[in-house]
Structure 1
Amino acid sequence: MAPTDPIQDAPIGDDGIRLGQFLQLAGLVDSGGEAKEAIREGDVRVNGEVDLRRGRQLQVGDVVTCGDRQVRVSR
């Protein structure tokens, strides 16, 4: 499904953040279990590509899509 909402920004600290953690921080999921399931089901894209790695390190500028929402990693 193509995203319909504009890209939102979610700030992180100076270091990167793992994909599963970011999904929760950005409010894309409610729990770690929900993040794990969404990633495993292929419902999460990073920079337009499905990523099945919950531990993937995200960096500032990466765009995570889940459902119809897009959130960019920012400082």
Structure 2
Amino acid sequence: MSAEVVEVTGVVRLGQFLKLAGAVDTGGQAREALLAGDVTVNGEAEDRRGRQLADGDVVGLGGGSWAVRVTDDA
């Protein structure tokens, strides 16, 4: 199964991205998923809500996966 691409502008942090991707509804849910060890970035477990994501990173949670695509502000 391939990752759904989510376009973002500029810098995005993991907690924000989980909400943008629709993986969670609230920041509290993002925090709980991260603390439980349920979130991966590029296949590695991640627990830092403030981790900056880069173009091409793949975030996983609960069987779903989302690829980060960073676009220009212009």
Would the TM-score normalized by the shorter structure come out above 0.5? yes
Counterpart of 1:7 (choices 3, 6, 11) is 3
Q: How many residues are treated as equivalent by the alignment?
A: 70
Q: Which has the higher strand share?
A: 2
Which residue among 28, 32, 46 is the counterpart of 2:27? 32
| Alignment partners' CA distance in 2, 1:33 and 1:57 | 18
Name segments (4+ residues, structure 1) moved above 6 Å.
none
Alpha-carbon contact 1:9-1:71 (below 8 Å) kept: yes
Alpha-carbon RMSD across the aligned residues, in angstroms, is: 0.8
Q: Which runs of 5+ in 1 are unaligned?
A: none
Counterpart amino acid of residue 2 in structure 2: P
Q: CA deviation at 1:6?
A: 2.5
Q: Please say if residues 6 and 69 of structure 1, whose CA atoms lie closer than 8 Å, have aligned partners that are also in contact.
A: no
Query: Could you tell me the percent identity over the aligned residues?
Result: 50
SS at match of 2:2: coil
- TM-score if structure 2 supplies the norm length? 0.90
